[in-house]
A and B are shown apart, each in its own frame.
Chain A
């Protein structure tokens, strides 16, 4: 599973979309190992079925024949890569420190036995979504409406 997620060395043109699909599917698998079945289904339907189709559609719409002959990395590549690896090292050190020290994850209780056996994961999420998280849920619907209108406006012939 670790190796599957790390196939994100997507440094090609259209291939990066395919590798992104692979990564999203592997992430869905990770959700499944975490007993999050609803998120697993949502990830596959929404990401792999929706967003990636959109991406591939746009990639086909704007022709990449010209872009294949251009330089694909910008000028600050080395500085940015160096900084990113510094960030990675720092975060890894933080995680290692938290795992070794007694104040970090050791303090947290051990992973509970999942209680999803009585009622399913989807039912629990749905109940929580419509009781405690009604307001964020409605705001998310409003956000989706705004995004819909915005995408239609952006796609018009003349802006």
Chain B
């Protein structure tokens, strides 16, 4: 059974848009980070789908690197969130105005 590549692209598109909506509309920083993970997953689906389509493994290598980046980004982001929460007792993105003068 062979699923056409276009279906994977559409699924990745929907996942990407869901992530964009999550990043743009939520106030909770943790959920914003999770939406970023959704976006990275959408990119990965696209890469692997086209890697399968073109019978080349380069897309999967790139997907591995993206997963690595996502892990690093999640670690750093959650560290920042913990440090921020310890200082300000809030998680809302629009109350993070330490840099505002």
Contacts and interface: CB of A to CB of B under 8 A. Distances in A.
Interface of A: 1-2, 5-6, 8, 10, 13, 16-17, 20, 23-24, 27, 30-31, 33-36, 38-39, 42-43, 46-47, 50-51, 54-55, 58-59, 61-62, 67, 70-77, 80-81, 83-85, 87-88, 91-92, 95, 99, 105, 108-109, 111-112, 114-115, 121, 124-125, 128-129, 133, 136, 140, 143-144, 146-148, 150-155, 159
A42 B76 contact: no
B67 A42 contact: yes
Nearest to A73: B25
Interface residues of B, number: 68
A112 B52 CA distance: 8
Nearest to B3: A33
B4 to A, nearest CB: 8
B78 A58 contact: yes
A71 B27 contact: yes
B75 A151 contact: yes
9 contacts: A33-B3, A43-B67, A58-B30, A61-B85, A62-B30, A80-B24, A91-B16, A92-B10, A155-B82
Given A54-B74, A58-B78, A73-B27, A31 B48 contact: yes
Contacts of B31: 10, 16
A45 to B, nearest CB: 10
A6 B52 CA distance: 22
Contact of A155 (B24, B65, B69, B83): B83
B27 A55 contact: no
A36 B14 CA distance: 21
A80 B18 CA distance: 12
